[in-house]
Amino acid sequence: MSGNVPVLLFGAAIFVVAFLIWWLIFETEGVYLGRRVMVALYDLYAARYDRIKQFDETADITLISQPLLDRIAPLDNPLILDVATGTARVPLIMARNARFRGRVIGLDASRRMLEKAREKVVAGRFESFITLLREDASELPFKDDSFDVVTCLEALEFMPRPQEALAEMIRVLRPGGLLLTSIRIDTRWMPGRAWSEFRLRAELEALGMRDIDVMIWQEDYSQVWALKTGRSRPIRADGLGHAMQSARQVPIS
């Protein structure tokens, strides 16, 4: 028996190391390894991202684009910012919705994710509805109060500085504008990163959001809808030129 102890210890060590690698790289998508590693991993996964996620577009239209348009009705030509757009999930379901006449800016830090997004935008001939930008969520290149709607799905917990990113999203949202984000249901696997519903509500309230509405959505995530305190006139799709503060990086399309 005692002769087996080193073998058992070695096996246990291999298991722990393999588990750590899986957790750091796959389960938490590199977020504990710093921004550069996280973006590099998204660059690496970009070609397979849609296949891995298998988004159900009909469900996304029913549960994202329809309720979004209902909540901002009668405004049908809003200016929307989708932060951490990935392969353009939100911009595409908005553009494919026959009721939508606005414009969506899809912003992401990963060049390869944006290249995949661009392929889909061009294939669907949605260039007049969608603009893609490579920028960081913690420093948005837009003026205050510039968008009618800001969305950010399945991403806050992967950001190195989620508080800053959330504050930026709310800064660029106009008073009375609509925020749609998501919250991870099971926070155990991302200690210190994935916020509880209680924490997200507190952060939103501290940043001046009201009417916070948490809705059951997917297995892993709930949707969180909220309005920015105050009221102002809609920006509408043609407000993009005014919203752009600077062009520090070349737009992807």
Ligand X SMILES: C[S@@+](CC[C@H](N)C(=O)[O-])C[C@H]1O[C@@H](n2cnc3c(N)ncnc32)[C@H](O)[C@@H]1O
Q: Whole-number minimum distance, CB 17 to ligand X, in Å? A: 25
Say whether residue 158 binds ligand X (CB under 6 A). Answer: yes
Say whether residue 154 binds ligand X (CB under 6 A). Answer: yes
- Inter-residue contact 133 to 106 (CB < 8 Å): yes
Say whether residue 86 binds ligand X (CB under 6 A). Answer: yes
Say whether residue 218 binds ligand X (CB under 6 A). Answer: no
Say whether residue 133 binds ligand X (CB under 6 A). Answer: no
User: Interacting stretch for ligand X, rule CB under 6 A, among 4-12, 109-117, 171-179, 208-216?
Assistant: 109-117
Q: In whole angstroms, give the CA distance from residue 205 to residue 229.
A: 10
Say whether residue 69 binds ligand X (CB under 6 A). Answer: no
Residue placing its CB nearer to ligand X in the complex, 161 or 236:
161
Say whether residue 138 binds ligand X (CB under 6 A). Answer: yes
- Inter-residue contact 120 to 94 (CB < 8 Å): no
Say whether residue 85 binds ligand X (CB under 6 A). Answer: yes
Question: Can you tell me which residue has the tokens 């969305």?
Answer: 151
- Inter-residue contact 178 to 149 (CB < 8 Å): yes
- Inter-residue contact 115 to 92 (CB < 8 Å): no
Choice from 30, 42, 129, 147 touching ligand X (CB under 6 A): 42
Q: How far is CA 80 from CA 22, 68, 103, 130, in A?
A: 35, 11, 6, 10
Residue placing its CB nearer to ligand X in the complex, 78 or 86:
86
Say whether residue 92 binds ligand X (CB under 6 A). Answer: no
User: Interacting stretch for ligand X, rule CB under 6 A, among 131-139, 220-228, 231-239, 245-253?
Assistant: 131-139
Q: How is residue 105 written in tokens? A: 């800016």
Q: How far is CA 55 from the centre of its chain?
A: 14
- By beta-carbon distance, which residue lies closest to ligand X? 86
Say whether residue 155 binds ligand X (CB under 6 A). Answer: yes
User: CB within 8 A of 113, min separation 6: which ones?
Assistant: 42, 43, 46, 49, 85, 86, 87
Say whether residue 203 binds ligand X (CB under 6 A). Answer: no
Q: In whole angstroms, give the CA distance from residue 173 to residue 171.
A: 6
Helix crossing, 111-123 with 35-53: angle to 10°? 30
Say whether residue 108 binds ligand X (CB under 6 A). Answer: yes
Q: Whole-number minimum distance, CB 106 to ligand X, in Å? A: 9
Say whether residue 153 binds ligand X (CB under 6 A). Answer: yes
Choice from 69, 95, 113, 190 touching ligand X (CB under 6 A): 113
Query: DSSP state, 61?
Result: I
Euclidean distance between the first and final Cα of the chain, in Å? 65
Among 210, 201, 153, residue whose Cα is nearest residue 177: 210
Name the residues that contact ligand X, by CB under 6 A.
39, 42, 84-86, 89, 108-110, 113, 136-138, 153-155, 158-159
